[in-house]
Amino acid sequence: MKKTHFFLSVLALGLFSSCQNNDEISNANPSQAEVHDKTVQVTNHDGRPFSTGNGSAYSKFVSGPGGGVLMQGFYWDVPDGGNWWNTVTDKLSAWSTAGISAVWLPPASKAQNGAYSMGYDPTDYFDFGNFNQNGSVETRFGSRAELEALITKAHTENMQVYADIVINHNSGGQSEANPYTGTNTWTNFSGVASGKFPRSYNDFYKNAYGNNDEGAFGGFPDLCHANPYVQDWLWGRDDSVGKYYKNVMKFDGWRFDYVKGFGPWVVNTWNLNVGGFSVGELWDSNVNTLESWANNANSSVFDFAAYYKMDEAFDNGNLNVLNDDMMWKRNPYKAVTFVANHDTDIIYNKMPAYAYILTHEGYPTIFYRDYEEWLNKDKLNNLIWIHNNKATGTTAILYTDNDEYVARRNGYNGNPGLVVYINSSSSWQERWVETNWSNQQIKDFTGNSTWYPTTQGDKWVKIQCPPNSYSVWSLNQ
């Protein structure tokens, strides 16, 4: 959530990994393991999806050896007026064809600011734009019917849909006398229009269960996960929030907002009871903190350690920092990598950053505005194709200095892997590197280099990279 929008905000703190093939994808990261349609995607010589020019070329997402890519399907303050679900629905076919495997949606339920809320101030978890409360029937994004149509469309495209879950705090309750504070608090949610998960003062800190948990946010009522009644409504009962979202609304996974506000056991218990992919927003650059949370939560986590290292590397001319520790290096199956999101957008030189996350291990995320508005979509589609088809196996860093970075994906189960070369200098660079391949011709699948070198018997070869750009090399096949 947005730090600069106090009234709506929730400082969003918070895999599917591409390091192996589908046989080794765990149930915690189902977005690529549960692909049903095997439509073949036609590509051009650079690996980008082929088009006949009349828009007729089309294929559903199919998981390649490197996996898939997550699209963040919104940004802060998307247009209000109730049309966002339709906007996303209209883009799903193109995203699927490009190789996007899943879409993460903003909080879908009615929040305090009704038709103007981004959803991070939740009031009624079961009002998806079908009840007249908080000043509107629809949410900012649209109606329940439009949301359900979006999810159905995504599933026909072999894409999964992840719900943004805000369970640290609530907003929009009525005032009531609170014996634990000796004052009135805005904790009376007994009149929620759905009739589901009514709440009162004892469901928020401080209460009979204590004064506080791990963290509160912005003065909003802090939901008490220690209360069995709250647990039952969040994940326990058949019509709990989690099970309703999964079984009725058909969401496939969860992005947990501001997980610093409650213990990792909450996400762990949700996952055990509800299932589906999950990722936590733990806004912390310390890789030890990220890894500990992910292990205790039994969940993926956004790789903020990689995020801040990429900013230093690509914006400050210090590619050596890419040698430093990151979550994807600790456990790629629990690392969701990203270049920007609705809360934070500090990396200026984004294309090398996308080249980095789309060729390395972890579950890479594309930010909506980068893809649809700000960057070169053809170049992003090319990198997505490279990720899904070539980015396999473990990673070996071959060379780094301030201006150059070269790494190899070692391949897996017959897939040859790749070599990625990133150059932040103002001139062309060349370098001898050790590849996975003996006596075979390779090419740059980005098209940035026109070389077609042949590797030596000892697997060494000279490759090149243009200034302020990148190249990605693999077998010419």
pLDDT tens digits, one per residue of 415-428: 999 999 999 999 99
- pTM (predicted TM-score): 0.90
- Residue 465 counted as domain residue: yes
Q: Do 350 and 420 share a domain, yes or no?
A: no
Q: Do 387 and 404 share a domain, yes or no?
A: no
Q: What's the pLDDT band for 218 if we cut at 50, 70, 90?
A: confident
Was 232 annotated as part of a binding site? yes
Q: Do 122 and 180 share a domain, yes or no?
A: yes
Domain boundary among the residues 374, 391, 408 is at 391
What integer best gives the mean pLDDT of the chain? Answer: 90
CA dihedral 49, 445, 306, 328 (to 10 degrees): 80
Q: Rounded CA gap, 74 and 91, in Å?
A: 12
Q: Do 229 and 348 share a domain, yes or no?
A: yes
Cβ-proximal residues to 143 (8 Å cutoff; 6+ apart), any chain = 82, 85, 128, 129, 130, 137
Section 239-268 average pLDDT: 98
Whether pLDDT at 371 is above 70 = yes
Asked whether the beta carbons of 280 and 299 are under 8 A apart, the reply is yes
Q: Do 372 and 415 share a domain, yes or no?
A: no
φ, ψ for residue 369 (rounded to 5)? -70, -30
Q: Do 141 and 268 share a domain, yes or no?
A: yes
Domain containing 244 — which CATH number? 3.20.20.80
Task: Quote the pLDDT of residue 57.
Answer: 55
Its domain, for residue 274, covers 22-391
Q: Do 323 and 459 share a domain, yes or no?
A: no
Whether pLDDT at 162 is above 50 = yes
Whether pLDDT at 3 is above 50 = no
Section 225-229 average pLDDT: 98
* Residue 373, CA distances (Å) to 71, 354, 367, 380 in order: 14, 15, 10, 12
Task: Quote the pLDDT of residue 43.
Answer: 37
- Residue 298 counted as domain residue: yes
- Residue 414 counted as domain residue: yes
Residues assigned a catalytic role: 257, 281
Q: Do 109 and 250 share a domain, yes or no?
A: yes
Domain boundary among the residues 359, 391, 423 is at 391
Q: What's the pLDDT band for 59 if we cut at 50, 70, 90?
A: confident
The residue among 399, 424, 423 whose CA lies nearest residue 323 is 399
Was 325 annotated as part of a binding site? no
The residue among 209, 198, 147 whose CA lies nearest residue 173 is 198
Q: Do 345 and 405 share a domain, yes or no?
A: no
Section 317-329 average pLDDT: 97
- Residue 366 counted as domain residue: yes
Q: Do 385 and 400 share a domain, yes or no?
A: no
Q: How many domains does the chain have?
A: 2
Q: Rounded CA gap, 453 and 124, in Å?
A: 60
Was 403 annotated as part of a binding site? yes
* Residue 287, CA distances (Å) to 282, 302, 307, 453 in order: 11, 11, 11, 38
Q: Do 27 and 146 share a domain, yes or no?
A: yes
- Residue 13 counted as domain residue: no
pLDDT above 70 covers a percentage of the chain that reads: 88
Task: Quote the pLDDT of residue 37.
Answer: 29
- Residue 410 counted as domain residue: yes
Q: Do 155 and 250 share a domain, yes or no?
A: yes
Q: What's the pLDDT band for 53 if we cut at 50, 70, 90?
A: very low
- Residue 458 counted as domain residue: yes
Domain boundary among the residues 357, 391, 425 is at 391
Section 70-96 average pLDDT: 98
Task: Quote the pLDDT of residue 58.
Answer: 64
φ, ψ for residue 444 (rounded to 5)? -90, 115
Whether pLDDT at 292 is above 70 = yes
- Residue 309 counted as domain residue: yes
